[in-house]
Amino acid sequence: MDFTLDAEQLALKSEAEEFAAAAVAKYGRFNDSWLCSFSRECSQDLAARGWIGMVWPKEFGGGGRSPVDRLIVSEALITAGVPIGATWFADRQMGPGLFTFGTPEQCERYLPEILAGDVTWCIGMSEPNSGSDLASLSTSAVRDGDEWVINGQKIWTSFAHESDYCYLICRTESIPGKPHLGISEIIVPMDTPGIEVRPIRDMVDARHFNEVWFDNVRVPVGNLVGVEGKAFSQTMKQLEHERGGIDRLVSNRALYLHVLELADTSDPIVRQEIAELEIGFTVGRLLVYRSVLGQTPAGFAAGTKCVCTEYEQRVADFAARILGPEAMLHSDWSTEIAYAPAYTIMGGTSDVMRNILGDRVLGLPR
């Protein structure tokens, strides 16, 4: 397979890199910028170029462009540290979830705001006792006339404190022995009475995580996305977008490029480490290309995530060795190194990803 970029793609790459440099000069540079940054203004700049919803179908207002085009732009933006977090989730998975499973009315209501870069969405998935095992969630939505009444707690909800909407994964029915059934997806405006958001400040001072409580929160029945009680497969489709993208490979690319300039390449051991990292990046990038082009089996995004996020952790280990004592001083680079253990946890732990590969892709016995 030939992954050489054609003339138009090379021009797009240059355009994206130029935009990224200007955006960093204007808004600042951020580590893990798809997750640890927030700028509505920057998102609106992206929207003005048609870089939100690039691959969405044109009938839903999207660009109808190749997944490779989005990969090219996203890689340039994240590598440079452009603050794209305000609309990243909505572009990556909320929008596709809505136009795939939602009603025409929902698409008309919500998609234009996303495409304009005017709104932020969070996803209410993880709970204190339900992380990578989504089927164990307990946040409930009970129908009361023409409303859903929602109760429960979510955690690690990125950007909940900034969000206009929550794409909530909840339980509308409990079926003994069948935890994957009875799960539904519901749109919840974050200004609805009964919602309490508590930001979580982590050890490297990132502040995108939140705890969210729902106390008798009422939303219209029409906010249900897809089929009531059968949304587990819908959510798994979303997670394919979440786990198999370029964001899982280049979160700390800037760190690698920085320490590469400092590395003593006269040392054969250092050269060997660099070679191994370059090979790892190439393999990860090939897997991402295959994922975005739809050339992998269903569920294989779990494997892509394993390879890519474990590569990012090796980058952090290499950077710490190259920086030496400087890695213990507070700086953008040292915080990037300290953040690395999160890569193989967010979006599903590597152990769970391997179980998914064995069970759903390889069909191995349990």
- Which sequence positions are flagged as catalytic? 242
Please give the structure tokens belonging to residue 205. 């001072």
Residue type, 160: A
3-state helix, strand, coil in the chain (%, to 5): 50, 15, 35
Beta strands in the chain (DSSP E): 121-124, 140-144, 147-154, 165-171, 183-189, 195-199, 210-220, 224-225
Is the CB of residue 54 less than 8 Å from the CB of residue 73? yes
DSSP characters for 288-312?
Answer: HHHHHTT-S-TTTHHHHHHHHHHHH
Phi, psi at 65, each rounded to 5°:
-90, 170
Please give the structure tokens belonging to residue 194. 């009964």
Distance CA 255, CA 353 (A): 26
Distance CA 364, CA 2 (A): 32
